[in-house]
Structure 1
Amino acid sequence: MIEATHDLELVEAGVWPFYMTRIPGKPWMEYEDIWNETQRATCSESLGRVFARCFVEGNAGEVVDSDIIPNLHKIRALALERDDVKPFSAFISKLIEEAPALKKLPLFFGHLDLNEMNVLVGENAEVTGVIDWELSPPPQPFGVACYCIQFLAGEIIDIVFRQRPEFEAIDWGFWDGLLEDTPAEIRDSLEANWEAVQTAVMIGTIFKVMSIEGDEVFVSKIRLDALPMLMRYRIPALRGASRAYSD
């Protein structure tokens, strides 16, 4: 909550004061160099529990037809024009073919730009808040917003995306926390449609690499370079004891 403070004396002095809800904690990033694997996994699991609160009522089918598939077509059209995107055209076409499966998934209100600055945590490594929701899109099928765990469990060093040593612990912690706090009836529907969730995560990843504003597609060079790796990611429910990035 952010509201203006109505103080005429300050305004006349050229000061425009506001007040907002205080969220305790510090950004995830400030703990990067001092956390051990257990603390990282604890934070990730806590974030998963926050995500479990984001399911909303509505028809995923309408979103798939009006938003997901049209935007994938825009990205595929770009792949026909740009040499750096062209190698991914077959992958994008496959996502277009598989996208109707997302109609089986519940709707979910996801964060557009979840990163180490927007997740606030306390000294016990529990999430205290998630900020900067104002640019988030309308609800989408579950899984699209879960692309974020790859970027939280990974890191970009010298403009190259890499897995953190604790990648598996962070990844598993997130999904475990999410499923643990998801209402039983929703969890049952997810467990019956893990392949659709996998597709949704890949679609979210593509949208993070190639963001869409109106009819324009903007490509992140660093994320595009990482895409050959990112597109091999498999969610824990499907990969089991295997590593996150399949060969």
Structure 2
Amino acid sequence: MPLVVYNLDSAIQSFFAEAGASSSRFQCDEFVCQRYGGRIQPATIQGINSYTAIVGPAADKVVQFREKSSLLDTAMLKLAKDGDVVPSGRDLGWIGDTSLGYPALAVYEMEKLPGETFVMKRMSLEAQQRFNAVRDLAGFFAQAWLKGKAAVSHLIDLPAIKEECHARFKYLTDKLPESFLPVVGEVQDVLPALIDGNYPLILTHSDLNEMNILVNLDTGEITGVIDWADASILPFGFTLYALENVLGCMNSGGWKWFDNAEELRDAFWKDFVHKTGVSESEMRLIELAAKAGILIRCGTPYDARFPGMIGTRDPSTEEYRYLDALL
């Protein structure tokens, strides 16, 4: 499989071409210049459904232009904001003249968190820096577990969550190659326990990948978790694939674990258990929830009706390579 090289300008051009919006990149940049002044710097990694720029004389703000189909829920963002690793944000309205039938773009302002995306730093991290990243990731998940459903009780729609999860696993049962069905069955057997209302249901990032985690360039410590579009309420553990992304990476030759991956994994779980005090039975459910998240992310197609369970955007790609590696 050939190695795909990311190109920033192409990514930005693709967004405006595919969005078919009434505003061009020039008009978006002009909006930013008039409002903030200073230099406009496109974010190093762009999202599929947005154009993001770092702005202001001090380069301390981020302005994001998003398609109507991928709006940020600022109430969810406020809920996610806890500590220093989630940016605060606000809605700035819309840009674009829709009189010709082209859609406008929603505009959001967020504080710029320090650090660089993990995907840009991953291969150059030293041993201690990796441990720092894993420790902070354990803290991020421990905080989510401890807050649990109490923090989001007013947002929990248990029947809808059950319907969503069962629909995804029906798809997996019908579509995945036979070799994956034993693990699908294993998760299906425990799925009722994950959505019985007693297991923690948490605010879940829809795409907790290595592009949405920021790290300190010198220490490897996590400085931010960004892009909370489509966050939703799901059982704890559905985004633990984030740990796997810290322990290895996919390249043209397939998945490669880092040399000290098992040592890092042990450090993660030791720190998580220390912070949460989870029991052995709870750990078993967490492990299966993690498998559920990997199956959904790497084995089902993307569907905008299922926020928080992003799936695979292009079913023609070799997405099953991730299932082979991570399961």
Compute the TM-score of the two structures, normalised by the length of structure 1: 0.72
Residue deviations 1:4-34 (CA, integer Å, cap 9, x gap): 399xxxxxxxxx9864212112222333343
Q: CA 1:208 to 1:19, structure 2 compared with 1: closer, same or farther past 3 Å?
A: closer
Q: CA 1:71 to 1:17, structure 2 compared with 1: closer, same or farther past 3 Å?
A: closer
Unaligned runs of 5+ in 1: 7-15, 80-84, 232-247
Q: Is the 8 A contact 2:138 2:272 kept in 1?
A: yes
1:198 and 2:294 equivalent?
Answer: no
1:144 and 2:238 equivalent?
Answer: yes
Q: Partner letter of residue 139 of structure 1? A: I
Q: CA 1:226 to 1:120, structure 2 compared with 1: closer, same or farther past 3 Å?
A: closer
Task: State how far apart, in whole Å, the 1-side matches of 2:171 and 2:214 are.
Answer: 35
CA RMSD of aligned residues (A): 3.0
Equivalent residue in structure 2 for 1:27, among 111, 117, 129: 117
Equivalent residue in structure 2 for 1:46, among 125, 136, 146: 136
Task: State how far apart, in whole Å, the 2-side matches of 1:109 and 1:132 are.
Answer: 13
Question: What is the number of equivalent residue pairs in this alignment?
Answer: 210
Q: CA 1:230 to 1:40, structure 2 compared with 1: closer, same or farther past 3 Å?
A: same
Moved over 6 A (4+): none
Q: Partner of 2:250 in structure 1? A: 156
Shift, 1:88, TM fit: 1.9
Residue deviations 1:16-70 (CA, integer Å, cap 9, x gap): 9864212112222333343211210111111221222323324796466322223
1:36 and 2:126 equivalent?
Answer: yes
Equivalent residue in structure 2 for 1:75, among 156, 162, 172: 172
Shift, 1:135, TM fit: 2.7
Q: Is the 8 A contact 2:137 2:243 kept in 1?
A: no
Which SS does the other structure have where 1:140 is aligned?
A: strand
Q: CA 1:30 to 1:78, structure 2 compared with 1: closer, same or farther past 3 Å?
A: closer
Residue deviations 1:220-241 (CA, integer Å, cap 9, x gap): 743412323422xxxxxxxxxx
Looking at both structures, which has the greater relative contact order when contacts are Cα pairs under 8 Å and sequence separation is at least 6?
A: 1
Q: Is the 8 A contact 2:298 2:320 kept in 1?
A: yes
Task: State how far apart, in whole Å, the 1-side matches of 2:123 and 2:175 are.
Answer: 39
Q: Is the 8 A contact 2:210 2:245 kept in 1?
A: no
Q: Is the 8 A contact 2:168 2:300 kept in 1?
A: no
Q: Is the 8 A contact 2:133 2:220 kept in 1?
A: yes
Which SS does the other structure have where 1:193 is aligned?
A: helix
Instruction: Using the aligned pairs only, state the percent identity.
Output: 21
Q: Partner letter of residue 203 of structure 1? A: A
Residue deviations 1:201-238 (CA, integer Å, cap 9, x gap): 111110111235249x754743412323422xxxxxxx
1:4 and 2:99 equivalent?
Answer: no
Residue deviations 1:74-126 (CA, integer Å, cap 9, x gap): 221223xxxxx233233323322221222352112222222222111222222
